[in-house]
Amino acid sequence: MRTFNFKVDPLTQEGYQEVYLRGQQLLNDPFLNKGSAFNDEERISLGVVGFLRYKNSSLSVQIARQYENFLSKTSDLEKYIFLQALLNRNEVLFYGLLLEYLEEMLPIVYTPTVGQACLQLSHITRKFRGVYLNPDNIANIDNILQSISYPEISLIVVTDGERILGLGDLGSDGMGIPVGKVNLYVAAGGLHPACCLPITLDVGTKNERLLNDPLYLGWNHKRLENDKYFEFIEKFVLGIKRNFPQALLQWEDFAKQKAFVLLERYNDRILSFNDDIQGTGAIALAALMTAMRIKKSSFKDQKYLIVGMGQAGSGIATNIIEQLKTEGLTEEEAASLIYGIEVNGLLTDDMPDLEVQMKRFTQKRDKLKDWKLENPGTITLMDVVKNSKATVLIGITAQTGLFSHEILSQMAQNDEQPIIFALSNPTSKCECTPADVVKATKGKGLMACGSPFAPVEGPNGLLHTSQCNNMYIFPGLGLGALISKTPKVTSKMFLEASKELSSLVTEEQMSQGLLLPGFKNIREVSFRIAKKVAIEARNSGLGRLLDDEQYDEILHKAQWFPKYFNYRPGKLNGEICR
C-alpha cells in the first residue's frame, strides 16, 4: 500500500505530499517522519498531537542536533550504526546531514566503514531496509514488489553478496552495499530517495563462518550455482520488468564469472549496467585523462600494466582501449599496450583456460622472447615492470603492499612521472600508500587510490591523493540515463562521463597532485555528467529529442534536495486513512 503521493494544488500550484498514514504509523515511516519539524496544523490533521515534544524545529536545527550526536560516537562503526538508525527514522534529516558534511561522512556511509559493517551486519542490524529475495520467496516477487509503499521506483541497486568489496562472499550481509550506493545516488546525484530501492538476492553463501553463525540472518544454505542460479536471476529480472519497466538496474558486487555473463545477457533487455566493471573503468579513465594533461602526453604514448584482470581490471582496460581508438589506434594496436597480470603472471596468448574477459588483453608470447626473466617458467610483476617499461601501474588485487618499494622505484626509472593507481578497497587492502609512492618517486609520481588517504608531505610541499570513488560517475550517469529515457546504457555514455569529469579538475587541483575534483561540489559534477550522458543518448538515437537547454531545465528539476514538504491528509480508496 502506498503511504503517500506527490500532489499539486490546482488553485495555488503549491506542491505537497498527500499522506495516508496517521499517528504513530506516520512517525514510524522513515520517509514521512519529520520529528520535531511537524508544524501545528500537521500535528492536528495527521493525528500526532501528544506524540511529539512541544517545540517545533527547523531542518537546520535538527541537522545541528544530529551532528552533535554523530561527533559523540567514538568509533567509525558506531558512527555507521548511528547514521543508519537516523536513515531508518527520518530520511530527509539523514540526507540533509549527509549533504552538509559529505566529505566527512562519505568514509562512514560507504568505503571503508561499510565493509566493516557488512562483516558484522547480522550482528548490528537494527531494522531491515530494502528487499530480500531468496529461493523460498522468489515465486512471490510480484506481490513483494507491489507491496512497496513508495509511489514510483526509478532506480534499483542489487547484489547477490558474493564479492563484497575485497572481502569476499558475505551472503545477505552484503546488503550494506546496495543501501550505501542508494545513499550516494541520492546525496551525489540528487535522485529522490522515494524512487530508489536496494535489493539483495539472498541465494545462499559459501562462507562457512556465516553458515555456522547462529545469528546470521540470511538464507542458510550453500550458494545457488549454475542453472539454478541463472534461473533465479531470470525470475528476478522479469519481475523487475513487469513491475518497474522504466527503472534503471545497477548490478553491484557480483562474482566476476557471473558479472560478465549478466552484463552481456541483460544489457539489451533491461536498462542496466555493472558499476564494478563499467563504473570503475570510467572513473579510472577520467583520472588517467587528467594525468595525461599534467604530463602533457597522450594515451598512445603510455604502456599500461594492470594487476588483477577481474571486473574492475577488465573494465579499466576496456575503457583505455576505447580511448586509444579515439587517438587513431586499431583494436590490436591498443591491446598491445596493455599488460594484464593475474595469479599465474602475465596474460599471454598461449595460456589455457583463460576467463573470457581476459582473452582480449593477452600479449603475444613470441613478442616476449627477448625479455629477461627471473624465472623463465613465470612472468612476474617485476619482470613485466622491467621489460615492458610500463609507465602506468594499476592494481585491483586486494593484496596489501603488493606494490613494493622495488616495484615503485622501477616505475620511476621507466618514467619521470609514473602513474600509480592502487584501487583496492577497503584501505587495509590497498596495494601501496601515497607515502610509498612519494618516497619511491621523489614526489613525482601521479597517484590515485580506491580509498581515502590523508595528504602526504612531498619534496615540494603537501601532496593530495584523489580517491577513485565510483561516486563521481554512477550517480550522474544513472540520472542522465533516466531523464533521457534511453533503453540501454552504452560504452560511449561512460566515455563521455569520463571526459566531462576530467575536464572539471582545475589547474590548482592538478598542482596539488589531484587527478579528480573534490567531493564538495559533487552535485554539480553529477549534473554535468548527467547532461553529457543524456546528450550522448540523444545523439546516438536512444534518448529523448530535447535540446541542451531543455535537458538543463529537466535536470535542475530532477535533482532532489532534502527539505520537508507540506503534508495534507489523504484518502485511499475513497476512505479517510486512520
Give the burial class of 210: count Cβ atoms within 10 A of its Cβ; 0-12 exposed, 13-18 middle, 19 or more buried.
buried
Whether the CB-CB separation of 37 and 58 falls below 8 Å is answered with yes
Distance CA(522)–CA(487), nearest Å, equals 26
Of the residues 34, 80, 132, 181, only one is catalytic, namely: 181
C-alpha cell at 32: 514521512
Of the residues 110, 185, 216, 472, only one is catalytic, namely: 110
Terminal alpha carbon distance of the chain: 14
Distance CA(251)–CA(315), nearest Å, equals 14
Report cis status (omega within 30 of 0) of the bond before 112: yes
101 is catalytic: no
C-alpha cell at 328: 587513431
Phi, psi (deg, nearest 5) at residue 56: -85, 140
Of residues 154, 200, 193, 147, the one with CA closest to residue 178: 200
Whether the CB-CB separation of 420 and 411 falls below 8 Å is answered with yes
How far apart, in Å, are the Cα atoms of 313 and each of 219, 281, 350?
Answer: 31, 8, 20
Residue 284: CB atoms within 10 Å: 30
Give the burial class of 508: count Cβ atoms within 10 A of its Cβ; 0-12 exposed, 13-18 middle, 19 or more buried.
exposed
181 is catalytic: yes
Place of cell 561512460: 494
Give catalytic residue positions.
110, 181
